[in-house]
Amino acid sequence: MQDFFIPSSLIIQEKCCLNDFEALHTQLIAGETSCEKITQAYLRRIEQKKNLHAFLHVFADEAAERARTVDRKLADGTAGPLAGMVIAVKDVICMKGHPVTCGSRMLENFISPYDATVIQRLDAADAVVIGKTNMDEFAMGSSTENSAFGVTLNPMDESRVPGGSSGGSAVAVAASMATTALGSDTGGSIRQPAALCGVVGLKPTYGRVSRYGLVAFASSFDQIGSFGSTVRDVAYVLQTIAGHDPCDSTSADLSVPDYLKALTGDVKGLRVGIPTEYFTSALEAEISGPIMQKVDLLKRHGASIKEISLPHSEYTIATYYILSTAEASSNLARYDGARYGRRAPGVKDLLEMYTQSRSEGFGNEVKRRIMLGTYVLSAGYYEAYYRKGQKVRRLIKQDFDRAFQEVDCLITPTSPTSAFKIG
C-alpha cells in the first residue's frame, strides 16, 4: 500500500521505468525497447551504485548475452512471461557454474555444480539473472554486517543498515539495480530488509517454493521468496517459482493459484486482524502511526478490523533461537574441510584440519549460533531446550490457527524500529 516515487534519473531512453516490470514488458511486446537495452541500463546503475555493495558477483557479459537471446525469442513470439525482468539472486542460492559463497570465507571459492529449482524456473520464463547479492553469512543476521565480504549500505541513508540477512537483494531493488530479487527468509530475512529499504518483500508459506539448491541454515524454517517495487512484481516472481518439486520432499504438492488475477484491489468484506501483542510500547511511533493510517484506509474501503490475541508471542524469539540454531549446528557440520569449502593449509592431523578450517572459515556470528545449537542438542539438555522448543512452536502455531478462524489476514509491524546505524 506504499506509494513508490521513481526519480527521473531512473528512466531509460525509451521512457519506461526500471522499477515497473509490467511497463517494461508492455514496451518490449510493442517493440519500443529491448531486453538488452533494459539489461544494460541496470548494469550501468550497478556501476553507479557500487558503493552500496549490494552485489558480490555481477554477470555482465552473461546477462547481456542472455538478454539478446530473449530479444530473439520476443521477435519470433516464443518469449516467456518474465521476458524483460532482470533479477538479482541472493548468494545462498545455487547457479550452475557460478560462485555461491553464502557471504562466508568457508565457501569463498566454491562453484555450484547445479542450478536451484527456482533458477531453472526463472530461466524457463526468460528472466535475466544479473548477479548474486551480498548477505549476512549463512543468512545469520539482520543487518548484512555479518558478511565476510563487507557491509551493504541502505540506499535511503548510507549510514544505516539495509536489514538482513537478504540485505543485498533488498538494496538491489530499492536502488533500481534489478527489477526484482530473490532472497531467503528463515526468521525475517526477506521481510525485515524489505521494510528497512522501503520495498515489497514476500516470504511465501513454507513448502510453497522449492528449497532445492538453497544452502541450508535451518531446514524447517528456510524459504525462498522475492523482493520487488510493487506487489504485482512480486506476484509475477511467485507465479513462476511456486509449485511442487520432486527434488524437495518438503515442497507442497498443491496447485498454484493465479496470484496476479487475485490482485483486484477490492478489500470489501476482508477480515483484518490486529494482534494486540505486536503493538506495545516497544514499537516506535513512526512505525505504529503509519500502520494505523493504513488500517483506517482499509476500513474506509470496506474491510472489517478486529483485535485478536496471539498469547504465546513473548516466547517466539527464544523458541526461534533454540530451534534454528540447533538445525544450523547440524547443517553446518558438513563444512569440515574434508569434502568442499575451505581447508586450512599445513595441518598435522584430522582434528586440527577440522578445527582450523572451521575457525578460519566461519565468522563470529555463525560460530555463536553453531555453539548455541550444539549446546541445546547435547546430552542432558536436549529435553530441556530442543524438545521444549518444539512444543512451544506448536503452541505458537495454534495461536495463528485460531486467529485465522476469525480473520483472513493480520496486519503487523515488520520491525519495532526503523533502519539502525551501521555498527
| Active site members | 90, 165, 189
Determine the Cα–Cα distance for residues 74 and 28; give it in Å rounded to an integer.
Answer: 8
* CB neighbour list of residue 374: distance below 8 Å, 6 or more residues apart: 329
Cross-sheet strand order for the sheet of 223-228: 55-58, 128-133, 86-90, 180-185, 223-228, 200-202
Amino acid at 293: Q
Cβ atoms of 63 and 86 within 8 Å: the answer is: yes
Q: Angle 35-48/21-29 helices, nearest 10 degrees?
A: 140
- Say how far apart CA 150 and CA 189 lie, in whole Å: 18
**Which residues, 6+ apart, have CB-to-CB distance to 158 below 8 Å?**
51, 52
> Are 361 and 105 within 8 A, CB to CB?
yes
Separation of alpha carbons 38 and 71, rounded Å: 11
Cell numbers linked to 346: 599445513
227 pairs with which residues across the strands? 181, 201
Q: Copy the grid coordinates of residue 237.
A: 516472481
Are the CB atoms for 227 and 241 separated by under 8 Å? Answer: no
Give the integer Cα–Cα distance in Å for 405 and 368.
39
Start-end of H helices in 274-315:
285-300
Bridge partners for 160 per DSSP: 421
Instruction: Report the C-alpha gap between 217 and 222 in whole angstroms.
Output: 7
The C-alpha angle 336, 337, 341, rounded to 5 degrees, equals 105
